[in-house]
Amino acid sequence: MKKNIIIFILILVLGLLVFGWENREFYENEIDEGTDLVEKDNDKPETGPDDKEKDDEFELPEEKPYSDEDPIDLPSVSIIIDDLGNNLAIDMSIDDIDADLTLAVLPFRDHTLQVAEFFSKRQEMILHLPLEPVSEENIEDRMLKVDMTQEEMERFLNESLKELRHYVVGVNNHKGSRFTSDREAMSVLLDAIKQEDLFFVDSFTIGASKGFSLAREKGIKTAVRDVFLDNSRDPDDIRDKLLEAVRLAEEKGEAIAIGHSSPETISVLVEEIPRLKERANFVPVSEVLR
């Protein structure tokens, strides 16, 4: 009897040892696989049960490859639109042009103030100052003339700025071939412009103009027109002149073009500028002053 009990105990112990050894190998295998996963993923945050599905759905945005053809430094083209203030409807349509422009507003016109107020936060504006032309046929009742005294010139400039003083940052000449080619008259006017802390753009209506060179001598920020867009009002001619301004800017880094507030010019600018933005930056004239 005792012998049978001993044999039973030995069989029981042996069975327990065998069972324990097999489970030990299973447990060690589980630890090894788990440790391997932890080592691979130890820099990741903990995830919930649904994160696997979310990760499968998420895709990083595709990187846009760099191209050597991408424009980096485009040349600058500044377009000044003259003669605002005469026709409110036409002037307002300038707002359809998708570019930074400089608008030259005439004084003493029916819509001078309305135009200035409308564009005050939309575009850069300058005073389009009437100056004496060479041709008697183009003389206006209210314009600066070479035979005026210094006091008369200063008074005229102040009167011209009366409605526009808070809106404009510079001056360019309306007509003025005779006035701008007169060194003495131009010197007096530029001194008055400097006193008002305004810049001057020479519309360059005549090759003998002294405006640009005198302004530089006096330390006034200045620029000179390169291209007239609309001596012809034919849209094809205007388009050609606009392309000429862009080509000139590509050659020398910048160009200034002057057009007028007319349906033909505005229509061409509305149509062409979006396409030309691949070749040039369209900037206010204040950005190309010297």
pLDDT single digits (tens) 72-82: 599 999 999 99
pTM beyond 0.85, yes or no: no
Cα distance between residue 210 and residue 183, in whole Å: 6
What does each C-alpha distance from 48 to 34, 52, 153 come to in angstroms?
A: 18, 8, 81
What is the pLDDT at residue 6? 53
Alpha carbon distances (Å) from 260 to 20, 113, 124, 223, 277: 99, 18, 15, 18, 21
215 pLDDT above the threshold of 60 = yes
Is 80 in contact with 200 (CB distance < 8 Å)?
no
Confidence of residue 14 (pLDDT cuts 50, 70, 90): low
Quick: pLDDT tens for 175-185.
999 999 999 99
Residue 173 has pLDDT above 80, yes or no: yes
State the residue for tokens 């007096």.
Answer: 188
Mean pLDDT of 191-213: 98
DSSP summary character for residue 64: P
How far is CA 6 from each of CA 2, 3, 15, 78, 138, rounded to the nearest angstrom?
Answer: 6, 5, 14, 111, 136
Give the integer Cα–Cα distance in Å for 270 and 282. 13
Q: Span 75-101, mean pLDDT? A: 98
Q: Is the pLDDT of residue 150 over 80?
A: yes
Rg of the chain in Å (alpha carbons): 39
**Tokens for 161?**
């700025």
- 48-57, 83-92, 101-110: the lowest-pLDDT one: 48-57
Query: In angstroms, how far is the first alpha carbon of the chain from the final one?
Result: 122
Give the H or E element holding residue 55.
Answer: helix 51-57
Give residue 18's pLDDT. Answer: 44
Least confident of 25-29, 54-58, 91-95, 180-184: 54-58
Residue 107 to residue 217: CA distance in whole angstroms:
27
Judge contact between 79 and 225, C-beta under 8 A: no
Six-digit token string for 149? 């005294």
The pLDDT tens digits of the residues spanning 228-280 come to: 999 999 999 999 999 999 999 999 999 999 999 999 999 999 999 999 999 99
Average pLDDT, the chain: 84
Q: What digits encode the pLDDT tens for the residues 103-123?
A: 999 999 999 999 999 999 999
What value, to the nearest 5°, has the Cα angle with vertex 49 and ends 45 and 51?
A: 55
List Cβ neighbours of 82 (8 Å cut-off, separation of 6 or more): 104, 128, 172, 174, 203, 258, 259, 260, 261
Question: Which percentage of the chain shows pLDDT scores above 70?
Answer: 75
Confidence of residue 11 (pLDDT cuts 50, 70, 90): low
- 264 neighbors 238 (Cβ within 8 angstroms): yes
At 103, the amino acid letter reads: L
Question: Residue 42 pLDDT more than 50?
Answer: no
Is residue 271 within 8 Å of 264, Cβ to Cβ?
no
For the cut 50, the answer to whether the pLDDT of residue 39 exceeds it is no
What pLDDT is recorded for position 254?
98
pLDDT of residue 263: 98
Percent of the chain with pLDDT over 90: 75
- Contact (CB, 8 A) for 96 and 140: no
- Examine the pLDDT at 172 and tell me if it is beyond 60: yes
CA distance 229 to 242: 6
Nearest by Cα to 72 from 281, 247, 244, 284: 281
* The predicted structure's pLDDT at residue 139: 95
